[in-house]
Amino acid sequence: MTSSRVDSGAAEDGAWRELATPPHSPMRAKIAEALFRRAVRPLDVRVVLPGGRWLGAGGPEAPCMYLRRPAAFFHRLGVDAKIGFGEAYMVGDWTSDALAEVLTPFAERMATLIPPVLQRFRRLVDRRQPADEENTVDGARANIHRHYDLSNDMFATFLDETMTYSSALYGSSEEALTTAQHRKIDGVLDYAGVREGSEVLEIGTGWGELSIRAAQRGARVTSLTISEEQAALATKRIADAGLADRVDVQLRDYRLSEGQYDAVVSVEMIEAVGADYWPAFYRTIGERLRPGGKLGLQAITMSHDRMVASASSYTWMHKYIFPGGLIPSPESIETGLAEHAGLKLRAAREFGQDYARTLREWRERFTHRWAEVSDLGFDEVFKRMWEFYLAYSEAGFRSGYIKVRQLSFGR
């Protein structure tokens, strides 16, 4: 796959042709089936097989995973479990009417699904990240292009009016997504000490809402992005808000940034940096901050031991959604910013369940407006890919396997 944008058609056509025929590896498929049956035995799900038999510990009300083509499913799982499980959903080898609910029990036991005695062999079967997905200056631009340059119109079908593609921070169960997104943005700006007269560097523009919000406080913002589609729409949205004189959107890699600022802000961009490039990212932040300046950071995180265990893995998420990335641990962020930028943690908040809710809202909007997405040239395989991505992510936050944090750093 070089792009997620596809022509209309089935899995046999165009960019999805590689998925049409499952891999063939009888021995691995047999092992995969045995491990899968063992893994689902204690889970609160029902894996329903053709003919009506089912696996798992779930009762009548448990979420169901319908295994339509078991042979193809186990061959995909056997050849590469971390990619094959999602690909099997993309092509319909298995389905579910409660996708996030099915995936959540798997996420809750992610660290123990494979028996410990077999985990020592993971390095023999784990695929390595392709060299062309490394986050060099050129590689990072190519990786970002594959996801964020899909189509502004496509993203607009499921994001709220702020075009904010990161976790909201809800104040109540009834609160609208837009209000919750503004609360999230305000939290990051507060953590960075952004106020009237502040000079702010934003690393990762998105579609411009944080820059707009900061400029409305009276700040001047330099915002960096390497997505051409995002830069174009962000610039337009900023101009439409009457703030073009206060915000400068630059198509520039963070490593090529210049100047010093009172505040640096970055929302859910660190996950795309890649572990090998975190030191450069942290050094850049330190170099851009004036004495007394603050960093406001929002980051998806995972536990340190899971980060270390998964650091070299190449997964479905890398192949289809976010190439080149790695979710950091809170410890790695704190240590890295101390060592490479001379910054110390001053404040933090965690709100992973808010991300689960955000993702569910996005998925419901995406599904409800699928006809509009289809009209943009995306097919049914893309639909299942995007559904799996959003539900898989929601399950990760629901289970606590991954979390999201806002962090404030200063010298």
pLDDT tens, per residue, the chain with 411 residues: 333 333 334 444 556 888 989 999 999 999 999 999 999 999 999 999 999 999 999 999 999 999 999 999 999 999 999 999 999 999 999 999 999 999 999 998 876 555 554 555 455 556 666 666 677 887 777 777 777 778 999 999 999 999 999 999 999 999 999 999 999 999 999 999 999 999 999 999 999 999 999 999 999 999 999 999 999 999 999 999 999 999 999 999 999 999 999 999 999 999 999 999 999 999 999 999 999 999 999 999 999 999 998 888 899 999 999 998 999 999 999 999 999 999 999 999 999 999 999 999 999 999 999 999 999 999 999 999 999 999 999 999 999 999 999 999 999
What is the model's pLDDT at position 18? 86
Would 370 be classed as within a structural domain?
yes
CA distance 64 to 59: 10
Chosen domain end from 126, 145, 160:
126
Would 392 be classed as within a structural domain?
yes
What is the model's pLDDT at position 128? 65
What is the model's pLDDT at position 129? 66
CATH number at residue 393: 3.40.50.150
Q: 378 with 7: CB under 8 angstroms?
A: no
**Tokens read off for 196:** 């009237």
What is the domain count for the chain? 2
Are 186 and 306 contained in the same domain? yes
What is the model's pLDDT at position 106? 93
- CB within 8 Å of 260: residues ≥ 6 apart: 287, 288, 289, 290, 293
Would 2 be classed as within a structural domain?
no
Would 55 be classed as within a structural domain?
yes
What is the model's pLDDT at position 111? 60
Would 21 be classed as within a structural domain?
yes
95-to-12, 109, 263, 317 alpha-carbon distances in Å: 19, 21, 46, 18
- CB within 8 Å of 170: residues ≥ 6 apart: 180, 183, 354, 357
CA distance 122 to 324: 20
Are 97 and 201 contained in the same domain? no
Are 117 and 209 contained in the same domain? no
CA distance 69 to 12: 16
pLDDT in tens, 140-183: 777 777 777 789 999 999 999 999 999 999 999 999 999 999 99
Chosen domain end from 126, 154, 183:
126
- Displacement of CA 33 from its chain's centroid (Å): 29
Chosen domain end from 109, 126, 143:
126
Are 280 and 177 contained in the same domain? yes
Domain holding 149, by residue range, is 133-410
Are 115 and 186 contained in the same domain? no
To the nearest 10 degrees (0 to 180), the angle between helices 330-341 and 278-288 is 50
Are 321 and 231 contained in the same domain? yes
Are 297 and 256 contained in the same domain? yes
What is the model's pLDDT at position 130? 66
Would 1 be classed as within a structural domain?
no
Are 210 and 192 contained in the same domain? yes
Are 334 and 368 contained in the same domain? yes
What is the model's pLDDT at position 94? 98
Are 327 and 301 contained in the same domain? yes
CA quadruple 182, 183, 189, 190: dihedral sign:
positive
What is the model's pLDDT at position 127? 61
Would 6 be classed as within a structural domain?
no
Are 142 and 119 contained in the same domain? no
Would 93 be classed as within a structural domain?
yes
What is the model's pLDDT at position 65? 98
Are 305 and 163 contained in the same domain? yes
At CB < 8 A and 24+ separation, what contacts does 27-34 make? 27/78, 28/75, 28/78, 28/79, 29/71, 29/74, 29/75, 29/77, 29/78, 30/74, 30/78, 31/78, 32/74, 32/75, 32/77, 32/78, 32/81, 33/70, 33/74, 33/77, 33/78
